[in-house]
Chain A
Amino acid sequence: ETGVTQTPRHLVMGMTNKKSLKCEQHLGHNAMYWYKQSAKKPLELMFVYSLEERVENNSVPSRFSPECPNSSHLFLHLHTLQPEDSALYLCASSQALPLGTDSPEAFFGQGTRLTVV
């Protein structure tokens, strides 16, 4: 296993469904992120976890619920989504600590293409 792995790659769900996106990193990083990429919009940061604690929540609706059980795994639980939530959801990890690290670059998974019908 290498890098950052996301499952599933594609997901179609109804507005009343509950599903979860999974992300796993094998890079030994201490921070993990969820980004949303919608058509015609810049990448939006949704959540940041550092040392398994949520340090950022960018006004994301409560129908998105993140979970970080350990430094290698990150989940995004989805429920009662809307069609406008259809997007590519990207997970990333980085060595965010110590601050001012020499290797701050984030590494991304291939994303989950989510379609809400």
Chain B
Amino acid sequence: AQKVTQAQTEISVVEKEDVTLDCVYETRDTTYYLFWYKQPPSGELVFLIRRNSFDEQNEISGRYSWNFQKSTSSFNFTITASQVVDSAVYFCALSGYNDYKLSFGAGTTVTVRA
């Protein structure tokens, strides 16, 4: 069974502050994918980033960066210099390497105030 836990329910920051979202997962698969999605008020889930379990290199893409630590089963996500448009619900998700299904966390609501 797979499980994704996002312990933070809501985060509120002032514009230009950094925001770090925590994600902890459980899986019996030896290889798997991890994802972050963003859901703005419009409702659409927008794919942000993906990480393969066999690649622990952390990267930065624009204002987004992520910290994947297999030893602690964590896949944290950081928005640098937050903007009001970053206000949304952010979901962490997991799927097996040979699996169709995404298991989602409960989501973290991020509010960025001007």
Residues of A within 8 A of B (CB): 31, 33, 42-43, 45, 48, 50, 55-56, 88, 90, 92, 94, 96, 99-100, 104-111, 113
Shortest C-beta distance, B27 to chain A (Å), equals 15
Distance between Cα atoms of A68 and B73 in the complex (Å): 36
With A110-B42, A110-B44, A111-B44: A48-B97 Cβ-Cβ less than 8 Å = no
- Chain B residues near A48: list those with CB within 8 A: 100-101
Chain B residue numbers with a CB within 8 Å of A56 are 100-101
Q: Is the CB of A104 within 8 A of B44?
A: no
Q: In the complex, which residues of chain B have a beta carbon less than 8 angstroms from the beta carbon of A94?
A: 100
Query: What are 9 pairs between A and B in contact, CB < 8 Å?
Result: A43-B104, A48-B101, A56-B101, A96-B100, A99-B98, A100-B31, A105-B47, A108-B37, A108-B46
Q: Which 6 A-B pairs have the closest CB atoms?
A: A108-B45, A110-B44, A43-B104, A99-B98, A111-B43, A96-B100
Q: Which single residue of chain A is at the shortest CB-CB distance from B35?
A: A105
Question: Pick the contact of B43 from A99, A100, A104, A110 — CB < 8 Å?
Answer: A110
Contact across chains for B104 and A108 when beta carbons are under 8 A apart? no
Q: Mark B32-55, 1 if CB is under 8 A from A, else 0.
A: 010101000011111100100000
Question: Nearest A residue to B45 by beta-carbon distance?
Answer: A108
Judging by beta carbons under 8 Å apart, are A106 and B102 in contact?
Answer: yes
Q: A105 touches which one: B50, B91, B107 (CB < 8 A)?
A: B50
Contacts of A111 in B (CB 8 A): 43-44
Q: A42-B105, A106-B47, A107-B47 are in contact. Are A31 and B100 (CB under 8 A)?
A: yes
